[in-house]
Chain A
Amino acid sequence: MTVEAPVFEEAPPQVEPARGPMDWARKNLFNNWYNSLLTVALAALVVWVLVALVRGLLSAEYEIIRANLRLFMIGEFPADQLWRPWAATYCFAVIFGVVGGSIAAGARDRASEAGLPYVRTTLRQIVIRFWPILALIAVILSFTSTVTPTLLTIGALVVGLGSYYLGRVLPRAVRRWTWLIAVVLIAASYISLAGFGGVGWQGWGGLQLNLFLTFAGLLVAFPFGLLLAMGRRSSLPVIRTISVGYIELVRGVPLITVLIAGAFAIGFIIPRDVRPGFVTRMLIAIIAFEAAYIAEVVRGGLQAVPRGQVEAAQAVGLAPWKTMRLIVLPQALRATIPAMVGQFISLFKDTTLVAVLGITELLEATFVVNSQTAYLGKGLFVVTLSFAALIFWVGCYTMSRESRRLERKLGVGER
């Protein structure tokens, strides 16, 4: 009796490479009767939605946005003071340009010293990188009734780009002071808005207020969050307990609760003559809330720094606070940048919550305009809300793209 080796009659089935879109569709969309049915039904649905969307976009009454664009952007800022927001816009164009340029120049110098390749950023790359923002600006400008805003916006973009190239060619000694230039310009932008008969930030509204609350909230909350995070890791039980207690208490309640507490509860505790204004109390509530979240983000970063880093710093005789400042924090904070951007995104959206307390930020403005006599009962909420949604979406989407970029970059060269 002989044992025959098994013989494979057929060659193992080979996956045929797709030959074209028709072939691909037949294989993936129409390979049996129920898939074909699903494909047809879903295609019909997609077409129907698209048609409805385009028809809606074409036939919608945009007059409500056109007439209220200023309210959406800067709230009830006096019409004869419009040069102020524009001046501030130009300040920020210079800030973003110079800071971006000097960061690029710093990366270029470090790369060349370390012998790593460095690819120069081109204008085309900048446009591709920020296309959602640029598209949004175009959409917003399409709602303006005079040509002045368009010209001024183009001017701001040109100034921003010019500042970027300026930032790239600044000599190293000057570049070290870029942060100071930024601080001075931020102060200048605020003075141009509020100083000499302007409007202080308690009187702001629209998108301007959302942006202000986001930036100011996070900026001021950051040092407190840092202290809380370090307090949570402290070896002193009192400090640790207070930090943990604060963080867990604040993180355990919704932001809206903290805002309402800031609006009403604190009002009762603090005497009237030293009580901060209503919007100020909102900002304080946001800061108090964000500090707890930032503390947790920073704690994550601190934990990401290996124990050996601290030991190596101790072994060369570095004092504890210098170890923290020079070794632990730079690494920890770098690791937290993506999470911090996430926090920024969620706060940007959360600033709309102050609408509940009657402050006319962007979302509230999109509601308010619907009760103007010209638009009352016309059901234009869908138009105004879509407009606000577009602005928030572009802002958040851009931030999240930037965050992913950073995550990729942080892995390179320096770790």
Chain B
Amino acid sequence: MLQKKICMLGSFAVGKTSLVRRYVESIYSDAYLTTVGVKIDKKTVQLSAQDVTLVLWDLYGEDEFQKIRWAHFRGASGYVLVADGTRQATLEKAISLEDGVRQAVGSIPFVFVLNKADLASSWEVDAGMEDRLVARGWDVMRSSAKTGENVENAFRKLTEKMLGA
């Protein structure tokens, strides 16, 4: 069995937990996020006839009270970087978090997800910005935890990158 540890990373309230909630196996309550600062979930992705078990470390979103525990990144094979498309500030935070990961554990595969794509009317992030990130080599996706858009794809894409497929 192939297993990979991945992290969910992003600002507070960008929808990391909502993004995974409907798509994962979980035995722990969300309360762990605020107490221990992390909640472990599991998701199995099938990639070219091979089952890959992703062990998701859903990290508490960084805010003014709590910093990311970089120790949780130890041994991670990849991560999902999440920002809220209706809040420009979360995108900027995501950029700085990506930098933080590189400093903590080096360059590891990740996908960038702009969440809340269903709230098109409140969308703040301009397409130009997305293009610039793509130009930097980022995999950028718009997703919606509400409609399920691109959620599976994001995990699949990350798995592909981790396995070097």
Q: Are the chains A and B members of one assembly?
A: no
Chain B residues near A (Cβ < 8 Å): none
